[in-house]
Structure 1
Amino acid sequence: MAGLIEKSINMGLGVFSYSREKIEEVVDDLVNRGEVARKDAKDLVNDLVKKGEEQRDDVKKMIRDEILEALDYKDIARKEDLINKEDLRKIIREELIDILQEKEIATKTDISELKK
């Protein structure tokens, strides 16, 4: 009978939405009605809590994957695709140094000052 109850909770309501306290209440009720042995109650609670956490993690991963797929589909930049001001300054500084060296406009002293 416990297997049937476990399956119905997993399938119908989703264990991931239950708190440990709520699961303990449900299992205590099953024990009181004689559908689950007292000695099996703790293991059942732990198993249901573990399955709930696994389901929660699976749902989070599924949501994350769907969001990333939607961002890719719409070609929307992600945080890691963006550069900050300091990185932009570094890129500009390097480009300026390359141009100045190429045009032989700046001396080595000037260039070393730009690199700071």
Structure 2
Amino acid sequence: MAGLIEKSVNLGLGLFSYSREKIEEVVDELVNKGEVTRKDAKDLVNDLVKKGEEQREDFKKMVKDEILEALDAKDIARKEDLIEKEDFRKIIREELIDILKEKEIATKKDINELKK
């Protein structure tokens, strides 16, 4: 039983890096040694695969959070911080229209053309 616990802990620590096939191999080895019954083997495999997927997601989140924190610390712009080309054009167009109106340089027709 101590061997089962030790293997489960070792498997659990690096579970996210194991494939389902590798987990099944380890569980089959435990079944052959009599440490796990055939009846419990399928449930054990499913539980270990589920835990591995959870660990993988936790690891992804941790890496993402660390990267975002590093970007913030270095004040590096993210994609959502950038202005799209079309939005930039819209801003420039609006500024140009305001200047033309203020300076009374363009006619209403000219301004309407710029709004398109």
Give the TM-score taking structure 1 as reference length: 0.92
**Counterpart for residue 105 of structure 1:** 105
Structure 1 residue 3, shift from structure 2 partner: 4.1
Q: Deviation per CA, 1:50-83: give whole Å up to 9, x if none.
A: 0000000000000000000000000001111112
* Greater CA drift, 76-85 or 28-37: 76-85
Percent identity at matched positions? Answer: 79
Q: 1:6 aligns with which of 5, 8, 14?
A: 8
Amino acid corresponding to residue 11 of structure 2 in structure 1: I
**Counterpart for residue 56 of structure 1:** 56
Amino acid corresponding to residue 66 of structure 2 in structure 1: E
Q: Quick one: distance in 2 between partners of 1:8 and 1:21?
A: 17
Alignment of 1:47-86 (within 5 A): 47-86=47-86
Q: Quick one: distance in 2 between partners of 1:5 and 1:43?
A: 16
- What SS class does the counterpart of residue 35 from structure 1 fall into? coil
- What SS class does the counterpart of residue 46 from structure 2 fall into? helix
**Counterpart for residue 32 of structure 1:** 32
How many residue pairs get aligned? The number is: 114
Structure 1 residue 5, shift from structure 2 partner: 2.6
Unaligned runs of 5+ in 2: none
Q: Quick one: distance in 2 between partners of 1:19 and 1:3?
A: 20
Q: Quick one: distance in 2 between partners of 1:36 and 1:98?
A: 78
Q: Quick one: distance in 1 between partners of 2:5 and 2:109?
A: 79
Structure 1 residue 10, shift from structure 2 partner: 1.2
